[in-house]
Chain A
Amino acid sequence: MTRLLVGPFNRVEGDLEVSLEVADGQVREARVNATMYRGFEQILQGKHPLDALVYVPRICGICSVTQSVAAARALAAACGVTPPPNGVLLTNLMLACENAADHLTHFYLFFMPDFTREVYADRAWHAQVQQRFSTVAGEHAREAVAVRQRWMHIMGTLGGKWPHTQSIVPGGSTRGISSSERYRLGARVAEMRGFLERVLYATPLEEMIALDSEEALAQWCEREPLRGDLRLFLSIAQELGLETLGRGPDLTLSYGAFAEHDGAYAMAPGVWNGHSLQAVNIEKITEDARHAWLADHGTALPPAVGLTQPNMNKPEAYTWNKAPRLDGQVLETGALARQLANGQPLIRALWQRSRGNVLTRVLARSLELAQLVLLAEHYLRTLVPGATCCVDSYLPDHADVYGLCEAARGSLGHWLSIRDGRIANYQIIAPTSWNFSPRDSLGTPGALEAALVGAPVAEGDKTPVAVQHIVRSFDPCMVCTVH
């Protein structure tokens, strides 16, 4: 058995280290270390509750708006306020904008470049992949960055800037929209649609989200082989067997995304177990700090009474991340989990056979990207220029509340206690806190830790490419994870 310390991992958000036990050319055991601690939960103690709207987006530069939304929802629950329909639409539009940008960034900048590596130089597709995705000159990657910055004009107009807006507040949005601005933003959305339909899918968005079975997917691939970057990825995935790489847990989690004013979700919430969709019992969520450099009081705690206090003197600790569990279970979260909860038939069929893996995660994200752009179009159409976007809200001196949201990479929750008008406790469980969780007190590994077992490691390879595919397939955000 040899030990391999892999890091620093780039093309993930933040700093990540993976420790591997390798034998017979395979990973036998993996431990995931989120290597940086900043202490937002300590920083927030004693602050005015509304000041959270300045601090929490700054937990993360890539999931910034989702952090704002989770905080605004917790604060809205404390205030007992409901944003007006236009405020909900504007917030949803910004969420769709951020999540779509993140999916695009993941595919073009973070994930696909690994197939340009020398280890694949003898593959028939290598030259094609290099031309499209090379980090230096990849033509499609460059185009994706260009279309992304134009797409982010939605954020500039509605949020003032991205990342780190303060336009999202408990009562809605501080920024209204005029009909001429709606027209201009509509043009940006059309640019994104154009790019996706030409370069990523080579197919209309509506047709992409309608793919409803493995046969339909196969027919779509055969229709115009290799046209569009997603078909290229799928053919690579088939050749390299990415469906057998990085198997995730048997349960997935989504808090539900894009709640509309009437409470209905565009993407349903739920825990998917392969047979049925269970309601998410928020009360059953706990965090176990046994293997974190954090005080653990010997037991897993629900986030409503959670604790974050650094403690370096713990021999069993190997990360700054706690281990979130739902009723003691390990769950995977992300676009895959959302598509499963929402009943996307193709994704459900693939998951039934092979669970979460490098292929299903990337495919679910790609299909969701089409859905997000369609949602953005819908929100823009539905907005009423000139209508109220925000109502004023009044904070109580005392409250115990939470706010939930779906970030691009999965379920995000903020738990807030207010005492004497100040923040008494603030606990955050981020998507990658779930996916890149350490072992819990029972020694059960987190989702990535289990997914890495069995990954092939070539003799002498210090940064195994299969490990990189698996890690990046989760689209991890390490700065959110520990915060």
Chain B
Amino acid sequence: MREPAFNVLWLQSGGCGGCSMSLLCADTADFRGQLRQAGINLLWHPSLSLETGQELLEVLEDCLIGKTALHALCVEGSILRGPEGTGHFHLLAGTQIPMMTWVRRLSAVAQHVLAMGTCAAFGGITAAGSNPTDACGLQYEGDQAGGLLGSDWRSRVGLPVINVAGCPTHPGWVLETLAALAGPQPMQADQLDALARPRFYSDELVHHGCTRNEYYEYKASAEAPGDLGCMMENRGCKGTQAHADCNIRLWNGEGSCIRGGYACISCTEPGFEEPGHRFDQTPKVAGIPIGLPTDMHKAWFVALASLSKSATPKRVKLNATSSHIVVAPTIKKTRLK
């Protein structure tokens, strides 16, 4: 096997480190082997590398002077620009230099720049509330293009920052994006959506593959935490609007937020951190949820919802407000008569 030649450098900025921890949950019996097989050479990662202190600074320096080719710079966490534009809320340890300066410098020499997670992509949780640290994403501030590098910035191969958004991001999204970049036919601009997220996962909705589909069809809704019903009407679920394949590829074996019994909070979307309402409650106007399913006309939604509510089987209705199945489906003969 050829030596992996696609150099990846991973740095943590103003975030929680959860995207790195998520990465370690990749569904593989040999994590290192999977990287190798994709041609990826992990130049340095905070959790996975020996180099520390001075040794790491040498790795960074070698990238900056071109001694090491930096194929992909992965940044995890928001960029902390405060206070007053100084970046002092995060100086990279041992250097007295703001992290935002390191990211800017390294972005200039990287072939590709990737925002790993919603913080690095759009600002994310760190930018919530009063945004005390003036946090932003690499190329976005919420849904506005700009961020640290500016809307016109392009990497050395001509791509914008690739936003592998998610809070945390999914290990599969990370590895498949990197593998695509390292592969023989590198990712093109048309493989990214309008928010520069890889379309292989952002062209799906969290709704796709949702195990609560029957409850959704009949608008049989959960009311309390732990109820089995659809969480769109009352419990704040945004699965019909959130771009991600969470219910298709699943998390940590058999998981997804909805399968864990709580609402999708749309964590792959810019601004998810400040929805303007309680996360576990659906805002409504005249009893109708404000956030309707993506691409659906309101009048049709209202008509279908009222029709399906009247058609709801008793079983579905009862189970929807229970934490366990209380009525099993009737056994039907499936043969033709």
Nearest CB in chain B: distance from A478 CB, A: 9
Point out the residue from B30, B96, B126 that lies within 8 Å of A146, measured CB to CB. B30
Residue A220 is within 8 A (CB to CB) of chain B in the complex: no
How many residues belonging to B are interface residues under a CB distance threshold of 8 Å?
80
Residue B294 is within 8 A (CB to CB) of chain A in the complex: no
Residue A43 is within 8 A (CB to CB) of chain B in the complex: yes
Residue A386 is within 8 A (CB to CB) of chain B in the complex: yes
CB neighbours (8 Å) of A190 from chain B are none
CB neighbours (8 Å) of A470 from chain B are none
Contact at A39–B253, with CB atoms within 8 Å?
no
Contact at A389–B31, with CB atoms within 8 Å?
no
CB neighbours (8 Å) of B265 from chain A are 54, 166
CB neighbours (8 Å) of A37 from chain B are 80, 89-90, 133
Contact at A161–B256, with CB atoms within 8 Å?
yes
Residue B24 is within 8 A (CB to CB) of chain A in the complex: yes
Contact at B261–A463, with CB atoms within 8 Å?
no
Contact at A36–B52, with CB atoms within 8 Å?
no
CB neighbours (8 Å) of B89 from chain A are 36-38, 310
CB-defined interface of B247-269 with A at 8 Å, one 1/0 digit per residue?
A: 00011111111111111010000
Contact at B31–A35, with CB atoms within 8 Å?
no
Residue B53 is within 8 A (CB to CB) of chain A in the complex: yes
Residue A398 is within 8 A (CB to CB) of chain B in the complex: no
Residue A245 is within 8 A (CB to CB) of chain B in the complex: no
Residue A197 is within 8 A (CB to CB) of chain B in the complex: no
Contact at B17–A152, with CB atoms within 8 Å?
no
CB neighbours (8 Å) of B61 from chain A are none
CB neighbours (8 Å) of A137 from chain B are 32
Point out the residue from A10, A39, A44, A142 that lies within 8 Å of B49, measured CB to CB. A10
Point out the residue from A11, A45, A47, A160 that lies within 8 Å of B256, measured CB to CB. A160
Contact at B323–A389, with CB atoms within 8 Å?
yes
Residue B337 is within 8 A (CB to CB) of chain A in the complex: no
Residue A157 is within 8 A (CB to CB) of chain B in the complex: yes
CB-defined interface of A307-341 with B at 8 Å, one 1/0 digit per residue?
A: 00010100000000000000000000000000000
Residue A249 is within 8 A (CB to CB) of chain B in the complex: no
> Are A163 and B18 also in contact (CB < 8 A) when A9-B52, A17-B93 are?
yes
Q: Max chain B CB contacts within 10 Å: which of A153, A159, A161?
A: A161
Contact at A160–B55, with CB atoms within 8 Å?
no
Residue A51 is within 8 A (CB to CB) of chain B in the complex: yes
Point out the residue from B15, B55, B226 that lies within 8 Å of A174, measured CB to CB. B226
Contact at B262–A392, with CB atoms within 8 Å?
no
- Residues of A348-379 at the interface with B, using a CB-CB cut-off of 8 Å, are none
Residue B183 is within 8 A (CB to CB) of chain A in the complex: no
Q: How far is the CA of A152 from the CA of B251 in the complex (A)?
A: 10
Residue B129 is within 8 A (CB to CB) of chain A in the complex: yes
Contact at B251–A156, with CB atoms within 8 Å?
yes
> Are A146 and B29 also in contact (CB < 8 A) when A9-B53, A61-B19 are?
yes
Contact at A42–B132, with CB atoms within 8 Å?
yes
Residue B187 is within 8 A (CB to CB) of chain A in the complex: no
Q: How far is the CA of A219 from the CA of B78 in the complex (A)?
A: 51
CB-defined interface of A141-166 with B at 8 Å, one 1/0 digit per residue?
A: 01001101110110111111111111
Residue B310 is within 8 A (CB to CB) of chain A in the complex: no
Q: How far is the CA of A107 from the CA of B18 in the complex (A)?
A: 19
CB neighbours (8 Å) of B18 from chain A are 58, 60-62, 64, 163-164
Which partner residue on chain A sits nearest B54 by CB separation? A462
Residue A7 is within 8 A (CB to CB) of chain B in the complex: yes
Contact at A36–B90, with CB atoms within 8 Å?
yes
Q: How far is the CA of A45 from the CA of B259 in the complex (A)?
A: 30
Nearest CB in chain A: distance from B324 CB, A: 5
Q: How far is the CA of A11 from the CA of B129 in the complex (A)?
A: 30
Contact stretch, chosen from A109-117, A264-272, A429-437:
A109-117
Point out the residue from B78, B95, B129, B224 that lies within 8 Å of A7, measured CB to CB. B95
Q: How far is the CA of A479 from the CA of B168 in the complex (A)?
A: 15
Contact at A35–B93, with CB atoms within 8 Å?
yes
Contact at B25–A109, with CB atoms within 8 Å?
no
Contact at A310–B132, with CB atoms within 8 Å?
yes
CB neighbours (8 Å) of B130 from chain A are 42-43, 45
> Are A164 and B167 also in contact (CB < 8 A) when A8-B53, A146-B29 are?
yes
CB neighbours (8 Å) of A15 from chain B are 12, 90, 92-93, 99
CB neighbours (8 Å) of A162 from chain B are 21-22, 25, 251-252, 255
How many residues belonging to A are interface residues under a CB distance threshold of 8 Å?
88
> Are A145 and B49 also in contact (CB < 8 A) when A8-B94, A42-B132, A158-B260 are?
no
Point out the residue from A117, A146, A153 that lies within 8 Å of B253, measured CB to CB. A153
Nearest CB in chain B: distance from A5 CB, A: 6
Residue A33 is within 8 A (CB to CB) of chain B in the complex: yes
Point out the residue from A47, A61, A167, A462 that lies within 8 Å of B16, measured CB to CB. A61
Residue A131 is within 8 A (CB to CB) of chain B in the complex: no
Contact at B17–A390, with CB atoms within 8 Å?
no
CB neighbours (8 Å) of A149 from chain B are 24-28, 31, 252
Q: How far is the CA of A105 from the CA of B33 in the complex (A)?
A: 18
Contact at A167–B261, with CB atoms within 8 Å?
yes
Q: How far is the CA of A113 from the CA of B50 in the complex (A)?
A: 7
> Are A109 and B168 also in contact (CB < 8 A) when A17-B93, A47-B129, A462-B53 are?
no
Residue B48 is within 8 A (CB to CB) of chain A in the complex: yes
Q: How far is the CA of A109 from the CA of B254 in the complex (A)?
A: 26
Residue A292 is within 8 A (CB to CB) of chain B in the complex: no
> Are A61 and B252 also in contact (CB < 8 A) when A7-B94, A166-B262 are?
no
Contact at A62–B21, with CB atoms within 8 Å?
yes
Nearest CB in chain A: distance from B43 CB, A: 12
Contact at A14–B17, with CB atoms within 8 Å?
yes
Q: Max chain B CB contacts within 10 Å: which of A14, A53, A171?
A: A14
Which partner residue on chain A sits nearest B26 by CB separation? A149
Point out the residue from B16, B25, B251 that lies within 8 Å of A160, measured CB to CB. B251
Residue B63 is within 8 A (CB to CB) of chain A in the complex: no
CB-defined interface of A209-245 with B at 8 Å, one 1/0 digit per residue?
A: 0000000000000000000000000000000000000
Nearest CB in chain B: distance from A1 CB, A: 19
Residue B125 is within 8 A (CB to CB) of chain A in the complex: yes
> Are A58 and B226 also in contact (CB < 8 A) when A37-B89, A157-B254, A167-B261 are?
no
Residue B278 is within 8 A (CB to CB) of chain A in the complex: yes
Point out the residue from B53, B55, B324 that lies within 8 Å of A386, measured CB to CB. B324
Q: List 30 A-B contacts (CB under 8 A).
A: A8-B53, A8-B56, A10-B56, A11-B46, A11-B47, A11-B49, A11-B52, A17-B93, A35-B92, A36-B90, A37-B89, A38-B126, A38-B133, A43-B130, A47-B129, A64-B21, A105-B47, A137-B32, A145-B24, A146-B28, A149-B25, A153-B253, A160-B251, A163-B18, A166-B262, A166-B280, A174-B260, A175-B261, A312-B83, A312-B88
In the A-B complex, the 10 residue pairs with the smallest Cβ-Cβ separation, listed nearest first, are A160-B260, A61-B18, A156-B252, A7-B93, A7-B94, A156-B255, A174-B261, A153-B253, A463-B53, A39-B132
Contacts A37-B133, A149-B27, A160-B257 aside, 11 further interface pairs with beta carbons under 8 A come to A11-B49, A35-B91, A37-B89, A43-B128, A43-B129, A149-B26, A152-B252, A153-B252, A153-B255, A156-B250, A163-B16
Q: Which residues of A contact B (CB under 8 A)?
A: 5-11, 13-17, 33, 35-39, 42-48, 50-51, 53-55, 58-62, 64, 105, 109-110, 113-114, 116-117, 134-137, 142, 145-146, 148-150, 152-153, 155-167, 169, 171-176, 184, 188, 310, 312, 386, 388-390, 392, 462-463, 468, 479
